[in-house]
Amino acid sequence: MKRSPLGDLFCFPSEINNLMRKYIIPFKKFLFEQELGDTPAPDPAAVAPVKVKPYTFVFMNDAKRDKLKKKRYPDGSSEVQFPSYSVTPDEMEEWAKKNVVSLGANVIQDSELEVRQKNLIDIVSGKKANISKEDIPFIEKLKNAVATDIFGRRDPDISVIFAADGAPTTEDVDVTFIKYTK
């Protein structure tokens, strides 16, 4: 008599298969036997915060140009290093609401203040190029705030090249030139 691997009795190979099958169950039964109630749901993937693109701008006031670094070229053009500043759109809106207010004896109505706030935001963002006389006091106020580091961030200087006819250009992308005269 031969010994079987499953016991002392002799078994044919088909009997061994039948004995082994009772330990093999379908996969669906296996899934239902698992304890699924105790396992916590996996955390969703962490979403990176959306980076808001800041408004980058330079003030191109002709009166202050004497103190800046300048280079002259033989073709009549010149290069000037202007200090640049940047603010986020949210910071700019908040600053405009707090600082664009009636000045001195001039009482400005709320509807006009809203227009001045929107104009200032549009000028800094580059959506508006024409600066009215009424906007200049608020632009001066913004210039003083960013120059003294009360508001916004100081960025590296931007090189602006003036053609022979006086047209400004730069290699930097997304920079707003704020040019005005008092």
Residues 84-107 have pLDDT tens digits of 999 999 999 999 898 888 766 677
pLDDT attached to residue 94: 92
Owner of token pair 């997304």: 174
pLDDT of residue 16: 62
Do residues 117 and 100 make contact, with C-beta atoms less than 8 angstroms apart?
yes
What is the chain's Cα-based Rg?
Answer: 37
pLDDT of residue 151: 86
Query: Which regions in the chain score pLDDT beneath 70?
Result: 1-23, 30-43, 46, 62-66, 103-105
Q: Kindly state the DSSP code that residue 152 receives in the 8-state scheme.
A: S
pLDDT at residue 53, rounded to an integer: 87
Position 39 scores a pLDDT of: 59
